[in-house]
């Protein structure tokens, strides 16, 4: 269903744009199964930045104008909102990661109830079909994700963290922010006290009668948790790195070197060269990914395959100053990155900013390793993220009010 290349993403975008106006707003909640053209199916591309949020939004705005595009644009901004919110509340992610290792959760993962849920054997036909669809395709429709999470938590009484982990291991678009915070939202932790209850009438209506599961919970009491620490501030983007020989390191959060470099002209233009090439300061590029770090239980075969091919695609598109394609590193360990930096005689490594999640944890371990060898590490953040994230401080609705102004600041 999803070919992990930017070219395939652009083709999918082209095919979807005509449907992204009023038709999307009317029909997006329906999950009729099979080939869906009422939603874009672009999330695996956007999540790896094989496509950027900016170009997807720009294409839809150009064809439909601001008013008819409003719903679709808002949905893309949900992703941006979740990322900005988690960036300011990283403890939510850290706590989730710690909890997955807690005894009570590892015990819960040993119970027949959990195994039945992830193997599609609960006896609730809808749940079983969705679990198999997730495993087989790496994708679920948004409404189905909401029903699944609600039934998991309130009907089956399973811990939300194990459901989030199941999703993160299998979703091609699996994302620390959108996934963790959406599960928390269903559970009543994100908008404190407000839960999402899946009902048979809603499921039957929006699956076009494919499913009418019986025996679902009829109430949903919000889960509770220890208070979170106060919200943090998003640090300013890193300063321009020094050093004559810089290497660019891409990872599975951001696989489009060309648009990343366009956002940072100081990387692209060597002031000392009159005929500046577009990649003058970047003398070497490498791509490193580790989808296994999504979960203590790793990632599904489908996610591993998607990521590996997406990385190959990014490497083939990111040419160095002398026309060499980028190097795909065998793994994302600091020692492997160091070896690459040494082989290219780099003074510094520029890395695409990794938002809160497994890749950020990995990049954090690179700093001391590179510094000990005298190599600088600079994280460059995209304009889209720097402009939007600070506004994701409270709920989505005040954030949504800012969308027109945020678009203007992006020149859209």
Ligand X SMILES: Cc1cc2nc3c(=O)[nH]c(=O)nc-3n(C[C@H](O)[C@H](O)[C@H](O)COP(=O)(O)OP(=O)(O)OC[C@H]3O[C@@H](n4cnc5c(N)ncnc54)[C@H](O)[C@@H]3O)c2cc1C
Write out the residues near ligand X by the rule CB under 6 A: 28, 39-43, 46-47, 75-76, 78-79, 82, 141-142, 145-146, 149, 167, 171, 173-175, 178-179, 182-183, 186
Q: What minimum distance in Å lies between the beta carbon of 258 and ligand X?
A: 20
Q: Residue 71: enclosing H or E segment and its boundaries? A: helix 53-88
Residue with tokens 């809603």: 202
Angle at 366 between CA 363 and CA 369, to 5 degrees: 170
Q: What minimum distance in Å lies between the beta carbon of 68 and ligand X?
A: 15
Beta strands in 99-251 (DSSP E): 246-250
CA distance 109 to 223: 19
Q: What minimum distance in Å lies between the beta carbon of 395 and ligand X?
A: 14
Q: 160 or 340, CB closer to ligand X? A: 160
CA distance 379 to 87: 15
Q: 69 or 285, CB closer to ligand X? A: 69
Q: 47 or 362, CB closer to ligand X? A: 47
Q: What minimum distance in Å lies between the beta carbon of 24 and ligand X?
A: 7
- The tokens of 324 are what? 């060499």
Half-sphere exposure of 92 (CA within 13 A, CB side): 24
CA distance 108 to 361: 26
Q: 149 or 246, CB closer to ligand X? A: 149
Q: What minimum distance in Å lies between the beta carbon of 76 and ligand X?
A: 4
Q: What minimum distance in Å lies between the beta carbon of 54 and ligand X?
A: 12
CA distance 199 to 214: 9
CA distance 146 to 285: 39
Q: What minimum distance in Å lies between the beta carbon of 316 and ligand X?
A: 24
Cα dihedral sign, 330-335-341-344:
negative
Q: What minimum distance in Å lies between the beta carbon of 170 and ligand X?
A: 10
Angle at 403 between CA 398 and CA 405, to 5 degrees: 110
Q: How many CB atoms lie within 10 A of CB 334?
A: 17
Which of 354, 355, 337 minimizes the C-alpha distance to 346? 337
Q: What minimum distance in Å lies between the beta carbon of 374 and ligand X?
A: 38
Q: 31 or 313, CB closer to ligand X? A: 31
CA distance 66 to 83: 23
- The tokens of 244 are what? 């004559």
Q: 176 or 287, CB closer to ligand X? A: 176
Cα dihedral sign, 34-36-39-40:
positive
CA distance 127 to 211: 9
For 278-315, the DSSP string reads TTSSEEEEEE---GGGGSTT---HHHHHHHHHHHHHHH
- The tokens of 8 are what? 């395939």
CA distance 208 to 214: 16
Q: What minimum distance in Å lies between the beta carbon of 101 and ligand X?
A: 20
Q: What minimum distance in Å lies between the beta carbon of 228 and ligand X?
A: 20
């Amino acid at each position: 269903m999803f070919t992990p290349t930017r070219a395939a993403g652009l083709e999918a975008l082209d095919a979807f744009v005509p449907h992204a106006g009023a038709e999307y707003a009317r029909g997006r909640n329906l999950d009729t199964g099979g080939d869906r053209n009422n939603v874009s199916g672009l999330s695996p591309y956007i999540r790896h930045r094989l496509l950027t949020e900016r170009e997807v939004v720009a294409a839809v705005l150009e064809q439909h104008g601001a008013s008819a595009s409003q719903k679709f644009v808002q949905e893309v901004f949900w992703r941006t909102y979740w990322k900005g919110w988690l960036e300011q509340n990283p403890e939510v992610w850290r706590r989730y990661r710690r909890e997955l290792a807690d005894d009570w959760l590892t015990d819960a993962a040993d119970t027949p109830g959990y195994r039945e849920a992830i193997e599609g054997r609960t006896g609730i036909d809808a749940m079983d079909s969705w679990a198999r669809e997730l495993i087989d395709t790496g994708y679920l429709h948004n409404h189905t994700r909401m029903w699944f999470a609600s039934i998991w938590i309130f009907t089956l009484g399973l811990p939300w963290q194990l459901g989030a982990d199941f999703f993160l291991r299998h979703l091609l678009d699996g994302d620390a922010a959108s996934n963790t915070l959406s599960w928390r939202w269903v559970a009543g932790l994100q908008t404190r006290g407000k839960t999402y209850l899946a009902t048979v009438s809603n499921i039957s209506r929006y699956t076009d009668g494919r499913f009418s599961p019986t025996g679902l919970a009829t109430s949903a009491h919000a889960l509770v948790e220890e208070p979170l620490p106060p919200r943090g501030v998003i640090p300013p983007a890193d300063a321009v790195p020094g050093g004559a020989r810089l290497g660019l390191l891409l990872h599975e959060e951001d696989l489009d070197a060309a648009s990343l470099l366009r956002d940072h002209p100081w990387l692209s233009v060597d002031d000392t060269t009159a005929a500046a090439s577009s990649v003058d300061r970047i003398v070497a590029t490498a791509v490193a990914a580790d989808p296994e770090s999504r979960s203590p239980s790793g990632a599904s075969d489908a996610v591993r395959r998607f990521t590996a091919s997406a990385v190959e695609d990014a490497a083939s598109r990111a040419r160095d100053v002398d026309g060499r394609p980028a190097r795909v590193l065998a793994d994302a360990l600091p020692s492997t990155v160091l070896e690459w930096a040494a082989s290219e005689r780099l003074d510094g490594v520029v890395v695409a900013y990794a938002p809160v999640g497994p890749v950020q944890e990995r990049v954090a371990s690179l700093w001391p390793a590179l510094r000990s060898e005298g190599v600088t590490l600079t994280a460059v953040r995209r304009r889209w993220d720097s402009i939007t994230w600070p506004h994701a401080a409270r709920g989505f609705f005040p954030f949504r009010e800012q969308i027109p102004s945020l678009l203007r600041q992006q020149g859209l």
